[in-house]
Chain A
């Protein structure tokens, strides 16, 4: 896509962990300050100001479960969409290739919020599906398009000698893809998929505008009854922050392991 950029150094901007700076070593890294800081702040609010905050902490966690259901459901489905579309993007068959490329281009050009509305309301006219299902499908459909590019790049990063060796042993293209290429590609795409998971976790807050009681919506419900907007959204933001920081750490650990592994 960006072949025409003459830059030599790749600009790494993930949705997950921020790239650690060289100076970012020692005990007080940005991640540690943010992660443990928000946990300490949560504990302080819950037990230091129980009158205001304890009720919020009791009310919103139900939403965390929904947020996870949406995120995990969507990421699993997005991996399926992404794998199919990614394989389509490298297919020699022009029709399959065209359909897959069109999917990627169209979906990436439409804001996620519009897609959510579209699937929930526009398609809701023809098929009745529960809000949470349409939320999962819409998110998966959108993220599948981004995931397709990750899979395509992952598959293409495997040296072509691997395919040739598998073929020369009498394997069909399909067998070679399944037994030889995909297992290796999967390893290289794991960290970017982890980053997509974190991005999806954050974007899942968009589903709160459908009738899905995720973390953000639980907060809105609580705040609109008590008018404690400041307190409620502080807690919501802190919970999102703790979750994403936690997962971004997991992803970077995974990345290190994979780099050491081979």
Chain B
């Protein structure tokens, strides 16, 4: 098996129900090592649910999800270990408000990775410099703008040295002028070869960064392909309609 064909994340025939409402309908896709996959679609289409399922924040009713070779729906799989390897960035940042920016980055490093305080702080500062916010290391999250908070959240996730990062609408809660700074950080990560699965409404980002675009509607994958194919010549009516509405 060559490095390019190595499957980082495999989603196989996944379905999920909320009562009688089917949130996910037989979803299947793979993400190989270093690949950037962007999931788009109207709200309520199940994009976020798929992403959250990969990190076990949602349980699935049918199918399986394999991350780094381990089936996460099996009871013997250590979910914490999977989550250590797969970072997640949320729409609402979810920084820890009772901890400073620096402590937000060092907490999981010391508690989960068992790094020394010194090592954790060195790594944290380096990452904060990388996302251009080192000067706020001692500040509390409430003193930061949304864009700054989301950059800290990305750095916090990077501090665990994840093999992949899931982004759940990372810019949807931001004021327009702050979206750029967060997307720039994400583009840098993409260039460095990070495996990324991004749920977003930022079509420019999808076009520029994605290796593959997945379009979802009503819990199904309607269309999947390269950004060129999807944005210029989508096959399905639903995808065409969606694009005509947002572009």
Contacts and interface: CB of A to CB of B under 8 A. Distances in A.
Q: Do A and B come from one complex?
A: yes
Interface of A: 159, 161-162, 164-172, 175, 179-180, 183-184, 187, 262
A169 B156 contact: yes
A170 B83 contact: yes
A259 to B, nearest CB: 13
A183 B107 CA distance: 13
Given A175-B111, A175-B112, A179-B107, A170 B84 contact: yes
Interface stretch (B5-13, B89-97, B127-135, B185-193): B89-97
Counting chain A CB atoms within 10 Å of each CB, which of B88, B108, B160 scores highest? B108
B57 A167 contact: yes
Q: State the main secondary structure of chain A at its contact with B.
A: helix
Given A161-B94, A175-B112, A168 B107 contact: no
Contacts of A169: 83-84, 87, 107-108, 112, 156-157, 160
B160 A164 contact: no
8 contacts: A161-B90, A167-B55, A168-B88, A169-B107, A169-B112, A172-B80, A175-B111, A262-B97
Interface in B69-87: 80-81, 83-84, 86-87
A170 B98 contact: no
A165 B80 contact: no
A164 B157 contact: no
Contacts of A172: 80
Contact of A164 (B90, B107, B142): B90
A170 B156 contact: no
A164 B94 contact: yes
A151 B245 CA distance: 48
Contacts of B160: 169-170
A165 B149 CA distance: 13
Nearest to A186: B98
A164 to B, nearest CB: 5
A138 B199 CA distance: 55
